[in-house]
Chain A
């Protein structure tokens, strides 16, 4: 491969790992606001609009950005400016870096080359996640220290103590997974989860290590400072570490929280829910038997396109479609119905065209590999988005822990449980004789 191609691919991999968490921020913010509203029997945001298109309130994310950009940026007179300015940058950078080691599809084999579809292919990839994840504490510490004010300092101490405590359970819960899959390479872990247990059950981490999965998810919530462990910024009762921040610096902290969610759900998916694996369809199965996928994908695309077209025909004329939308979503506008009609129509035409093209020109081995990678990427993103939503869902379900309860749960509950899980896993592996 020529060097410039290699560099482009490397840059592309890094860009994907950079863009996924960033693009998920507005989506997660929207989900947070809309899902919390529906959970609490409210309507949620639905007012901001562009050309009469409200998109169910997702425009509000844009409005938020505009607002945060134009707010006055204040540096308190007594703050320590170096640390104060460094804190949000450090928090955001390390949160984004963490995502780099996650594989978003299996190694792509095209034309005799192997392209790992993860930004950073490291043998000890899992340790990278833990290492960079623990760097996130610096952002909070700097914010607390740099603000030079009592409340942010207390908030920073509270937050860093919590993160340090739960890092232990997080790290120990992963050990069980490492023992079972006997590798520390994240892509290998995902590959190993493609096997079947008892011939029908995908060997996902959550199946073979359910206790570890529960501990890991709880600790991941604590690491991301999300409810029920969001003591660090419990808005309603105690003051957060980013009290003194305003404008875009505050926005960076806010976005860091959502990047943390993405990272935590990405890690949960990779370790416990099969990563990019599509259940029962391993990479070998998808690329190996050439006939399977080459027929299935165009067929699926054609069926999808026809279904969308059929639904459009059934819902036409536009008035009826509009009324359906109106009944479903009170905030829908006539514009919006038209807009979605056009979008769905284009989607259907695109799917049909692509399906027909693939049907007439059946893809070769390289094409199949590319299609496989695309499908796996979609699978990974669907899972990550779902777990991102699950974190939001948990937030609006559970009340917050008290600080002593938080520490008691971390040190006296989850840590011994994680240790016991390691011991039990070891014994079981010894007995099974792996």
Chain B
């Protein structure tokens, strides 16, 4: 059951990711991204991490992609505006880099070997909102607050940029 879920979601996620970078229409790319996010969320659900599953849906598929789609629509981006050179030096460089990274990850995973069985029984509240909250607000409090600060800086920057135009 879990294997079926994993493989179907994995195939969907990878296919959708390929669609994201291969579609010409920006909206198609954005929606493929949303499908990718949903497939990832399903993977999280399979890993008994319900909170992460929901947050993945809520934040990435629900909010981020919706914003991307909204901006695409607001600017009415068609294929014409986004059509650049099919092959360029920058693109080649970026894909090469990405391939290297992917290869490194793959090698790392192969070297580590797949765990044959789970590393022991999970605690009852694993992946639940309480345990994650405990972790975030005790052990990882400083990184969490720094993240919040970075987001605040981003918002302030956006406001400044928007105001300058007036």
Residues of A with Cβ closer than 8 Å to B?
83, 122-124, 127-128, 130-132, 134-135, 137-138, 141, 144-145, 153, 156-157, 160-161, 164, 184
CA A131 to CA B51, docked complex, whole Å: 12
Contact string against A for B residues 73-91, beta-carbon threshold 8 Å, 1 for contact and 0 otherwise: 1101000000000000000
Q: Which residues of B sit under 8 angstroms from A153, Cβ to Cβ?
A: 73, 76
> Is the beta-carbon distance between A160 and B66 smaller than 8 angstroms?
yes
Residue pair B54, A124 in contact (C-beta under 8 Å) = yes
Decide: A134 near B66, CB < 8 A? Known: A124-B129, A153-B76.
yes
A135 CA to B37 CA in the complex, in Å?
A: 12
Interface of B toward A, CB cutoff 8 Å:
27, 31, 34, 50-51, 54-55, 57-58, 61-63, 66-67, 69-70, 73-74, 76, 128-129
Query: Main SS of the interface on chain A?
Result: helix
Bound together, the chains give a CA A138 to CA B57 distance in angstroms of 13
Known pairs A134-B62, A134-B63, A134-B66; A157 contacts B129 (CB<8 A): no
**Contact B129–A131 (Cβ < 8 Å):** no
Assuming A124-B51, A124-B54, A135-B62, is B69 touching A141 (CB within 8 A)?
yes
Can you identify 13 A-B contacts, CB atoms within 8 angstroms?
A: A83-B27, A123-B51, A131-B62, A132-B57, A132-B62, A137-B69, A138-B31, A138-B34, A141-B70, A144-B73, A145-B73, A153-B73, A160-B66
Expressed in whole angstroms, the minimum distance between the Cβ of B11 and any Cβ of chain A is 21
Question: Which 8 A-B pairs give the minimum distances between C-beta atoms?
Answer: A134-B62, A131-B58, A131-B57, A127-B54, A124-B54, A131-B62, A137-B66, A123-B50
Find out whether the CB atom of B129 lies under 8 angstroms from the CB atom of A123: yes
Is B61 touching A135 in the complex (CB atoms < 8 A)?
yes
B138 CB, nearest partner CB in chain A, Å? 17
Cβ-defined contact, B73 with A124, below 8 A: no
Identity of the chain A residue whose Cβ is nearest the Cβ of B70 in the assembled complex = A160
User: Would you give the shortest CB distance from A87 to chain B, in whole angstroms?
Assistant: 11
Q: Is the CB of A124 within 8 A of B50?
A: yes
In angstroms, Cα B69 to Cα A123, docked, is 30
